Structure 1
Amino acid sequence: MSSLTPFPLCFHPPLQCKTANLTSNLTLRFKNQCCVIGGADAVTKGFDNLAYDGGGQVEVHSAPSSSCILRLSGLHCGSCVQTIEEVVRSLPGVSKVSVSLQESSAVVLFDPLKVTQQQIQASIEESGFEATLLSDDGFDQSSSRQTVTVQVGGMTCGSCVRSIENAVSQLRGVHSVHVSLKEGKAMLTFDPKLIEPELLRSAIEESGFEATLSGQLESIASFLHVVFVKKRRSHSSGRHRNEHLLSPKGLSSKSPNPLLNDVDSLSTHSLPAHASSWFKLPSTSETSAECKEQKCFLRISGMTCTSCVANIEKHLLKHSGIFSVLVSLMSGKAEVRFDPNLLNTSAVARLVEELGFGAELTEDLTHGKLELTITGMTCASCVHTIESKLTSTKGILQASVALATKKAQIQFNPDVLGARDIVHIIQSLGFETSLEKTGFSNHLDHSEEIQQWRNSFLLSLVFGIPVMALMIYMMAMDDSMHHQQNILPGLSLFNLVFFLLCTPVQIFGGRYFYIQAFRALKHRTANMDVLIVLATSIAYLYSCVILVVAMAERANQSPVTFFDTPPMLFVFIALGRWLEHIAKSKTSEALAKLMSLQATDATVVTLGPENSIISEQQVVVELVQRGDIVKVVPGGKFPVDGKVVEGSSMADESLITGEPMPVRKKVGSLVIAGSINAHGALLVEATHVGAETTLCQIVKLVEEAQTSKAPIQQFADRLSGFFVPFIVIISVLTLVSWSIVGFVDFDVGYTPSLSKGEAVLRLAFQASITVLAIACPCSLGLATPTAVMVGTGVGAQSGILIKGGEPLETMHKISVVMFDKTGTITNGVPLVTRVLVLWETARMPLSKVLAVVGTAENSSEHPLGKAVAKHCREELGSDVLGFCWDFQSIPGCGISCRVSGVDHFLLQSDKHFLLPGATTDEIAGASYSVVIGNREWMRRNGHHIRADIEAAMTSHETKGQTAILVAIDGVLCAMLAIADTVKAESALAVNTLQNMGIDVVLITGDNRRTAKAIAAQVGIKKVFAEVLPSHKVSKVEELQQRGLKVAMVGDGINDSPALAQADVGIAIGTGTDVAIEAADIVLIRNDLLDVVASVDLSKKTVRRIRINFVFALVYNLLGIPIAAGDCCALECECLVKSLTTQAVTVSTNTKNRH
């Protein structure tokens, strides 16, 4: 049901009540509430026609009442709503307040004689929330404002927010602009008499973002009335009552709220005619059915193999509200998509922790997060003082201080304040504070895991070496005499020594295995740790039991035990885990290298007049805030992304962009965090700090790629899930089989010191344990992620960002590459390639023609016009030319205008001459009529195009260039050729792809002649021209339906649908945010040869994955049958097993070196 739905303050009549408060002339719309439109007279007429049983009485009272709407930030739950309502309601003169958590808004009805809007806003901000006045009203009924909500796509950071706010706020008639990066929408308040909503939407689109009017348009009128309705309860059904209420002339209503069933309709006849377009809203059912999805990233510790991955994914997906889970063993990260209405990020982390793994939420870019260590706190009062001060500060969303740990966790809005401001606030209270460093680098180099397994290996080795020495001694001597040398009946000296050496290893050396195995079994799953624990525990417990039985029976001979198995098994398994994590750390080298580019400190300066430095302060880079002026000395790293405000230098950006040549930096140039300042001191204004910098965005993209799974890896994970139960079954069957064989056909190397039953069980038991010990699911699970991790890391170092394992695997199967033309094959910037002056008719020098044309085109917004104006300014060496008026632009044709002041400019330069008898006053005051455009525009203005000029234009157009004509004072005097030049590497990239057996296609929205000309220059034979963005998707689908794998390369918003549709979408790094978001691969360097490199990298990665799978499968397929069928030395098999996983990771790392 479509309906307008305002705040409940407009109308809230409980059925039991006989008085209803109604605010008229106020049109608001919020979800699940009623709509009220119309003046007091209309309201009264509406109630007169309600036809309640026994009639009703309506009284209208005017009151000096006013209302205001506030946009709120920092709302998290119903408690926040209640707090704000209580605070505002306590103010004198406030008669009604309604806060919407979902819309983050508040509407307040108040007496302007007792309280002001600013006082209401201040009271909310003092409660620790942000409040922005969206609109107000007074007693002038003629003044009204409207608010429209625009859904915005493609925003990635605070800079995008500021770009939109700056672009829209400059428009005439716009009162306020509020853009939410997290919600992806903009709320704009404007004057409908001066600007239309569609123009606001267009302004956002022109800024490079997707914009859609959501239909949420609110009109705010000024004069308020209060209506009291005295009635008796109606006994008629709601359905019949609604039918009657819709019947009176001028009345229309819909009422989704059951509390409002008694009054469902008010007048809309006073609304403007165009207001009907405001009511296009989604139905209540659609709104309630709308499912919002949120994504969070977790850093997970404690995973050892792919069974852990399967365990986490399976159990999280069992919980309602979780849509998808992706866990990466190699990067130790998980991506979880969930319903925020049912879960929050902390709850998701707790679910992982309940499975026995460590879980830590990674940083949310929409809010700043700060963790501080605070010293000087002595009691709970100190904690309360700090928290109260922080939460009452504008821009701080949440603050939590722990006295025991001396830690503070703070969430804030980086658009309002920065980390350094928060530190200063705490220090002003008399406490010392320091920034808590995160363990991100330790996570990348696996240092904690490496140390953990090294200690486990060394402990096992200390006790394992004596065990190994004793085993060698026993094998060299007569085995039977050792079991007869008892120190107690049934207990030999060697069994006692084995027990003493084995027990510490079983308890301390195997502690990590037992913890992980217990957690897995607790949730009814099994992994490699379960196999190891089964093997060692069974061997240890079996040995203990038979030894106790022998001692209890006072046997003459001590039994054969397996105390030697746990120490030797733990030695080799711990060694394998240690070397495995060392190998894993190598796969993260590329990402760690990127992170190491980040500067640790920054010099923040305070500037005085003429950019003179008043003071300098050395701070850690995490405390640099947006807008700070940072000094960068020669040889130093740029700590943040920013804009140069003073100085000039050369910057080495090769480690980030891959561009080997230093880049010139001057005032106004943009710099990238992590790049190196070659020479010359610079002052840089910080524009992106912390997680917003280009470097951090690249790291985040690489991390997400390493978290995702290639299709072949998903198969390996499923295989590993069945692996452990299969191995346990094989082990049991081995035990049973050898026992049966031994008792039926006893020939197992019988020795006189052993009984027949003991000898058979010994053989069967040892074979069974060997099967458990030798099986290795990790080698299968690590075959793909190690290669994917190295592949994405190498790509990042080469300026190729690959968003996951799937595009990395798919890229080698590509059979067709489709290139967009503008900005991809070409540079995307039109340049003037030729200026032809028609001397027979021009009667003016080239400099004057350029000055006139440049002045005229300076007022043009068309890309070609801008290119012409830029060329003229560069040729004349001046940014200021003449003056232009009567400017007219005809889309698809050209421009016309009048120009003056050109001669004055030329007189001031050296590009002029005087005719005999002419004076400078006469020349300086001259004006010119100018017409610039295509053939049709010239014909419309009465100009004849000669055959030689037509031939020259055609010649340029066959080369893919655009030819335009210039007429000055009614005389055709010049022709200009404009072209979007082809990139230097385009032809080589196309040729290389074709030599690799890949078809190359050019697809563009330009005309066929231009498209074919560009394609001919780079060697492309197949061209799709004059294709709309939606038709680009159709072309991709058409090729896919033929069974071809398609890669699409583009840079613009119009390419994003095709990038998403293609099997692999490749975006140019200089393209729009929308295109980059839709793509699977991003080329940072804007170099088309990187498309070739992507194909080559994919082929090498897939080949390495297959080699790794061969290692893993051969080992398991040969090792398990050998272990089950032949009782070879268990220790040798354990050593082979520990080295198999390392072979997989080392095999992968060899690709990194090549």
Structure 2
Amino acid sequence: VIGGSINQHGMILIEATHVGADTTLSQIVKLVEEAQTSKAPIQQLADKIAGYFVPGVVVLSTLTVIAWTIVGYSDITKVKPDFVDDGTLSRDEIIFQKAFQYAITVLSIACPCALGLATPTAVMVGTGIGASNGILIKGGEPLECSHKLKCIVFDKTGTVTHGVPRVARVAMFVEDSVCSFVKLIAIAGTAETSSEHPLASAIVKYAKQTLKTEILGKTQGYQAVPGCGLQCTVTQIDGVLVDIDLEGVNNRKNLMGSTKVMTDNVLFDGEEITATIEESSLVGAVASKPYKVLIGNREWMTRNGLVVTDKMDETMTEHEHLGQTAILCAIDDNIVAMLAVADTVKSEAHLAISVLKDMGLQVVLLTGDNQKTARAIARQIGIHKVFAEVLPSHKVKKIKQLQKQGMKVAMVGDGVNDSPALAQADVGIAIGTGTDVAVEAADVVLIKNDLLDVAAAIQLSKKTVRRIRINFFAASIYNLVGIPIAAGIFVPWGLSLKPWMASAAMAMSSVSVVLSSLLLKTFKKPSKEKMLTPKYYAKFAADQELDNISVHRGVESLPSSREPSKQGSIISRLSGKKKTPSPDHTSLLEMNNMSDSDSSDI
């Protein structure tokens, strides 16, 4: 039950899992408050300047006393009291009264308040404006750093795509006498119940909808290999098969209400397929039998001693060229079917990429999916450089590689396995609908799940940094002009300040800096309608014919030598701890399941 829901009829018993400070709204408010009070790197410069500025002003004030004392004793006519002297003041009193007056004026006008307010006021307004536009910026550092970005790295599943894949096709490679369609769906759906991968969820959902059941079989010995697939033993599918409505399931064009799912048989001319699967009756009592199941990509099948024929590869390639993920399913050492899973690209993805390119940024797609699918998705969204088949542990290394080229890198992701890369990047940007770990690791959270907000966050950063620099310039000019006047340097020309005037000027300088920062409230996120220009439409048409996409295989493009593990520093950023894991132990990141792979953990 979501906060704000209305129960219209009857009674409902609700258990609150998060209350008070733990609610989503409270957490957002807390993050905004922490961001508004955090210091940007440029603020550290201001603090350093203030550290030298204050003692410098004290020294300057002392020198002012000494200078005017010398001037007074040299020529008393140059030291005129501010009141009518009735002769009661001695010469020494007049000199020291004037000297200390100028010294106090210097101290009054030279308060570093304006310098100290230049950054925090702009950061406070900037983060507030970001939050009101659905961009949650966690502090001054990412707000400042974003304007320095040279490269934006996008994850695929759930980031540039909707992250809600569906089964688009089931292609059977064997006759029903070897493995029936319903048995395939029951076994594959059961095998995937142990996985939390988005593609696995799509297969499980399809199986339950097709078989009209919420209960599938059991799995034993489940093992998922990142970047490849899974293997397990499926048992207890007897009850599932017994209760099947065969007449409904056999409607292959529109199975049991599943929308737009193509199911067909892809038979092999002149090829003999040895049937080692023991077919059991789908009606009546069914003998309980365990099935050895392999689900994954080509490499996973080859690694387990199975041959991917040219026809199978051709069938998979057909869907991979459409940007879909093709998954092979083997039962008892026979590849029996291919399942094509589609995850549609977000409508604003191409426009967002185009805007980022126009800003002079290099855009990269980083995905665990196979090269053909990655190329198809890249063509749809207009990205020229792609790293495909990247394992979870290699995502961090990819970010480091780009950083070693001297670029400030931002990572945009949503999954658990994107979290280390989000932490490693100079600016980590998480999709608001992503996992809690990813949101926690990121520096910027896009609450509205809109990729156009990536460009908006960078634009807001540029405007905020520009405003900070204007504030610094104004504060510096104020001190450079005000201190000499306060010290009495321009007295010969009739220009001087009283202490109260200096105090008022100091207050006005602080107010002017605050007002300058408040001008950030005029920032407005560019609307999508204004971005859809004729120039963009021409670029969109050109990108659909894009043939100069550079696709690199993740493992091959990494250095062959193993770098010393630095994952401890990343984990410490996620957990707040600084302990570095022993190099003798395998990093947990090496064994994490993928959130964006071809068929890993599916």
Alignment CA distance shift 1:813-1:910 (3 Å): closer
Offset at 1:1025? 2.4
Distance in 2 separating the partners of 1:1068 and 1:886 = 33
Alignment CA distance shift 1:1095-1:941 (3 Å): closer
What code does the residue aligned with 1:879 have?
T
Distance in 1 separating the partners of 2:8 and 2:439 = 34
After superposition, the C-alpha distances for 1:773-821 in whole angstroms (9 at most, x for unaligned) are 2222111111001111122222233333322211211110000111223
Q: Quick check: 1:1099 aligned with 2:456? A: no
Cross-structure match for 1:1144: 513
Alignment CA distance shift 1:887-1:807 (3 Å): closer
Offset at 1:1141? 0.5
What code does the residue aligned with 1:993 have?
L
Cross-structure match for 1:733: 63
Q: Percent identity?
A: 52
What code does the residue aligned with 2:207 have?
C
Among 83, 100, 110, the alignment partner of 1:775 is 110
Task: Check the 8 A contact 1:960/1:1011 in 2, yes or no.
Answer: yes
Alignment CA distance shift 1:1122-1:850 (3 Å): farther
| Equivalent position SS for 1:827 | coil
What code does the residue aligned with 1:706 have?
Q
Task: Check the 8 A contact 2:210/2:249 in 1, yes or no.
Answer: no
| Equivalent position SS for 1:687 | coil
Select between 865-874 and 967-976 the one with higher mean Cα deviation: 967-976
What is the CA RMSD across the aligned residues, in angstroms?
4.0
After superposition, the C-alpha distances for 1:214-259 in whole angstroms (9 at most, x for unaligned) are xxxxxxxxxxxxxxxxxxxxxxxxxxxxxxxxxxxxxxxxxxxxxx
Task: Check the 8 A contact 1:903/1:926 in 2, yes or no.
Answer: no
Among 15, 22, 25, the alignment partner of 1:695 is 25
Offset at 1:1145? 1.0
Cross-structure match for 2:283: 924
Distance in 2 separating the partners of 1:771 and 1:893 = 75
Alignment CA distance shift 1:711-1:854 (3 Å): same
Cross-structure match for 1:745: 75
After superposition, the C-alpha distances for 1:2-39 in whole angstroms (9 at most, x for unaligned) are xxxxxxxxxxxxxxxxxxxxxxxxxxxxxxxxxxxxxx
Distance in 2 separating the partners of 1:886 and 1:1084 = 37
| Equivalent position SS for 1:776 | coil
Distance in 1 separating the partners of 2:49 and 2:307 = 77
Among 152, 167, 178, the alignment partner of 1:832 is 167
Counterparts of 1:951-1100 in structure 2, within 5 Å, are 951-964=314-327, 975-1100=338-463
Select between 890-899 and 1034-1043 the one with higher mean Cα deviation: 890-899
After superposition, the C-alpha distances for 1:466-524 in whole angstroms (9 at most, x for unaligned) are xxxxxxxxxxxxxxxxxxxxxxxxxxxxxxxxxxxxxxxxxxxxxxxxxxxxxxxxxxx
| Equivalent position SS for 2:406 | coil
Distance in 2 separating the partners of 1:1039 and 1:1119 = 47
Distance in 1 separating the partners of 2:360 and 2:25 = 35
Task: Check the 8 A contact 1:900/1:925 in 2, yes or no.
Answer: no
Distance in 1 separating the partners of 2:302 and 2:180 = 17
Alignment CA distance shift 1:783-1:745 (3 Å): same
| Equivalent position SS for 1:982 | coil
What code does the residue aligned with 1:753 have?
D
Task: Check the 8 A contact 2:317/2:372 in 1, yes or no.
Answer: no
Q: Quick check: 1:1120 aligned with 2:483? A: yes
What code does the residue aligned with 1:986 have?
A
Q: Quick check: 1:686 aligned with 2:16? A: yes
Among 132, 150, 154, the alignment partner of 1:815 is 150
Alignment CA distance shift 1:711-1:971 (3 Å): closer
What code does the residue aligned with 1:981 have?
T
Among 182, 204, 208, the alignment partner of 1:873 is 208
After superposition, the C-alpha distances for 1:838-877 in whole angstroms (9 at most, x for unaligned) are 8x95599xxx97644432233213444542231133356x
The structure with the greater share of residues assigned to strand is: 1
Among 497, 502, 517, the alignment partner of 1:1133 is 502
Offset at 1:1096? 1.2
Task: Check the 8 A contact 1:800/1:1094 in 2, yes or no.
Answer: yes
What code does the residue aligned with 2:284 have?
G
Which is bigger in relative contact order (C-alpha 8 A, separation at least 6)? Answer: 2
Offset at 1:1140? 1.1
Cross-structure match for 2:260: none
Alignment CA distance shift 1:714-1:940 (3 Å): closer
Offset at 1:1066? 2.3
Counterparts of 1:855-934 in structure 2, within 5 Å, are 855-860=186-191, 861-862=194-195, 863=197, 864-875=199-210, 878-880=212-214, 892=229, 900=238, 905-907=243-245, 924-925=283-284
Counterparts of 1:118-517 in structure 2, within 5 Å, are none
Alignment CA distance shift 1:971-1:1111 (3 Å): closer
Distance in 2 separating the partners of 1:886 and 1:818 = 37
Task: Check the 8 A contact 1:842/1:973 in 2, yes or no.
Answer: no
| Equivalent position SS for 2:86 | coil
Distance in 2 separating the partners of 1:1023 and 1:740 = 73
Cross-structure match for 2:49: 719
Alignment CA distance shift 1:812-1:884 (3 Å): closer
Task: Check the 8 A contact 2:64/2:102 in 1, yes or no.
Answer: yes
Alignment CA distance shift 1:998-1:940 (3 Å): closer
Distance in 2 separating the partners of 1:734 and 1:684 = 73
Task: Check the 8 A contact 1:836/1:974 in 2, yes or no.
Answer: yes
Q: Quick check: 1:795 aligned with 2:154? A: no
Distance in 2 separating the partners of 1:903 and 1:859 = 12
Equivalent pairs counted in the alignment come to: 467
Task: Check the 8 A contact 2:326/2:340 in 1, yes or no.
Answer: yes
Distance in 2 separating the partners of 1:1087 and 1:1080 = 16
TM-score by length of 2: 0.67
Cross-structure match for 1:1111: 474
Distance in 2 separating the partners of 1:939 and 1:773 = 78
Distance in 2 separating the partners of 1:1143 and 1:1029 = 49
What code does the residue aligned with 1:1021 have?
H
Task: Check the 8 A contact 2:144/2:465 in 1, yes or no.
Answer: yes
After superposition, the C-alpha distances for 1:690-718 in whole angstroms (9 at most, x for unaligned) are 33222232233233323321121111112
Distance in 2 separating the partners of 1:1064 and 1:944 = 42
What code does the residue aligned with 2:450 have?
D
Larger Rg: 1
What code does the residue aligned with 2:213 have?
D
Distance in 2 separating the partners of 1:708 and 1:924 = 67
Q: Which runs of 5+ in 2 are unaligned?
A: 252-280, 524-602
Distance in 2 separating the partners of 1:766 and 1:1007 = 77
Task: Check the 8 A contact 1:1048/1:1066 in 2, yes or no.
Answer: yes
Cross-structure match for 2:548: none
Distance in 1 separating the partners of 2:5 and 2:21 = 21
Offset at 1:991? 1.8
What code does the residue aligned with 2:112 have?
P
| Equivalent position SS for 1:1105 | helix
What code does the residue aligned with 1:1055 have?
D
Task: Check the 8 A contact 2:189/2:207 in 1, yes or no.
Answer: no
Alignment CA distance shift 1:744-1:1064 (3 Å): same
Task: Check the 8 A contact 1:767/1:1123 in 2, yes or no.
Answer: yes
Distance in 2 separating the partners of 1:987 and 1:1055 = 21
Alignment CA distance shift 1:1094-1:973 (3 Å): same
What code does the residue aligned with 2:378 have?
A
Alignment CA distance shift 1:896-1:689 (3 Å): closer
